[in-house]
Structure 1
Amino acid sequence: MLEQTEDTIFRHDDWYGEELVDRHFVRCEFFQVDLTEAVTRGAVFTECTFGNTAFNSSRHVDSAFTRCVFKRCNLFEAEFVGCKLVGSSFFQCDLRPLRVSGGDWSFVSLPGADLRGVSLTDVRMREADLTGVDLTGAEVTGVDLSGAQLSGVRLSRADLRGSDLSALDPTTAQARDALIDAEQALMLAQALGFRLA
């Protein structure tokens, strides 16, 4: 059974290297909390707010951050494995180099985020707001981007193989030297109005 904490404000707490296992935080606020090298396993954060929180080199496994807000947080070298971040929003966060493997990030809001060189693999990002996101040189493989907002996205030199690009307008994206597979090439050609013989 999850140990639950509700409506609590954590301010200037030092949780460096802490292990948060099977904890549930509901509507909690974290301000200038140090979660550097912290590990969460099976932890759940619901409708929580993180402000100026350090997630540097933290690792999150099978945890959930649903409908959370991240403001000016540092996620340098943070890793999320099999995590659920449905409906969460990121504002003015340092997200590089971030690693996400598996999990569900649908409806996540990341407008204008600098995601150059990040690794996103086999993650669901349906209807995510990625407007103006810079994914230059990123690994975006096996990602479900169906219904995502991709206007003005930068994908130069990104590895996009196996990802759902059905929501991508190739006329508005910067995608020089991006790597795609044959099926994606066919879909993008059709989106540009080409007829295939």
Structure 2
Amino acid sequence: MFKEQEYYGDHFADMVFSKEELVSVKFYDCTFTKCDFSETAFDECKFSDCTFEHCDLSMIKLLDSSFSQASFKHCKLVGVDWTEASWSRIVVPGTLRFDECVLNHSTFIGLSMPKSQLTACTARDVDFREADLQESNLARTNFAESLFSETNLTGANLSHATNYAIDPSNNRIRKAKFTLPEAISLLYSMDIELIED
């Protein structure tokens, strides 16, 4: 599959790596287009400034692998446990960018990901509990059945996001941006009665 241990500026297209195992391979400034990584195990791999476009990364295992300034566009990333990855103790804002991706059944629980981007994505049943998403761009994303608890959404952009269930009493939402009518859902967790006029 990958014969070298390090790749710089390479472009991989229309390749199938499904159910493979990559160990200690490092990619710098590489682009992956229409590649199938479904159910692949990445063991101590590194992706720095890499872009994935129209790729399938569903059910991948991220065993101590790291991502720095990684961008995913039109990708399928179903059932990914991002907590298995290796996260730097030094928080780098904007480490992950997802645009028009499917992130269903994934978990980001407890991860520090300020200024990340999840725009126009489908994020059904995703666990964001205790995650730091401050100043992240979450616009136009469908968060149906996703979990938010003790999540830091300070200054986050949730404009035109849909189907979120965010309790303002146990999530930090100061200066976050929401749009109507979806923002009315922020009142559902409060013990109040809404009366339509």
Give the TM-score category using the shorter length.
Answer: 0.7 to 0.9
Alignment correspondent of 2:54? 57
Q: Does 1:43 align with 2:40?
A: yes
Alignment correspondent of 2:172? 169
Alignment correspondent of 1:71? 68
Alpha-carbon shift at residue 9 of structure 1 (Å): 2.3
Identical aligned residues as a percent: 17
Alpha-carbon shift at residue 92 of structure 1 (Å): 5.2
Among residues 114, 118, 133, which one is paired with 2:117 in the alignment? Answer: 114
Aligned ranges 1:114-193 → 2 under 5 Å: 114-161=117-164, 163=165, 165=167, 167-177=170-180, 179=182, 185-187=187-189, 189=190
1:11 and 1:21 map into 2 onto residues whose CA distance is 22
Secondary structure at the aligned position of 1:65 is classed as strand
Alignment RMSD (CA, Å)? 3.2
1:86 partner letter: T
Q: How many residues align?
A: 186
Alpha-carbon shift at residue 138 of structure 1 (Å): 1.8
Alpha-carbon shift at residue 123 of structure 1 (Å): 1.5
**Contact in 1 for aligned 2:126/2:143 (Cα 8 Å):** no
- Consecutive unaligned residues of structure 1, counting only runs of 5 or more, are none
* TM-score, normalised via structure 1 length: 0.76
* TM-score, normalised via structure 2 length: 0.76
Q: Which one has the bigger strand percentage?
A: 1
1:172 and 1:118 map into 2 onto residues whose CA distance is 22
Secondary structure at the aligned position of 2:187 is classed as helix
